[in-house]
Amino acid sequence: MGLLIGEKDVFDVKVAFEEKGNSLIFYESNEQIPETAKKESFTFHKPRWIDMRRMMSESIISTGSGIVLNPYVFMDIKIKQLLQDWTLTDTDGKKMKITPESIDNLNPALCDYLNEKIDEVLGTKEEVLTKIPEKLP
């Protein structure tokens, strides 16, 4: 990746899952994935300085005693800001366009899973949560 992040600095998150009742069961890449599992792929670009600024500034809430990071807003912005491509199709088999509305329609369990994988790849979860300033400048 280096000091500059370019258009080709992307990573894929492969998702293998099964529906069990009202739940989604996700399979890790090192597990044996059943033949019945559905598979999708999501491509994210690595965050640039402008992406991190936006994610942090839009998810910080100022309180009387300091500031707090709203993790749900942060996760939402992270997916919407970094997602570049996916393999999701509509009921007619046509590839779905990536829009804020289509992302809002994703299963919450999938969004949690994607956020975990993004943090694993980038090593950002602990870093972001521990580097929140005490007060806004």
- Does 90 reside within a domain? yes
What are the per-10-residue average pLDDT scores of the chain (137 residues)? 86 94 87 88 94 90 85 93 96 96 96 93 63 51
- Does 4 reside within a domain? no
Q: How many domains does the chain have?
A: 1
**Residue 126 has what pLDDT?**
53
- Does 118 reside within a domain? yes
pTM for this one? 0.83
**Residue 40 has what pLDDT?**
96
* Domain hosting residue 75, numbered range: 10-130
**Residue 7 has what pLDDT?**
86
- Does 57 reside within a domain? yes
Distance from C-alpha of 55 to C-alpha of 123, rounded to nearest angstrom: 16
**Residue 104 has what pLDDT?**
97
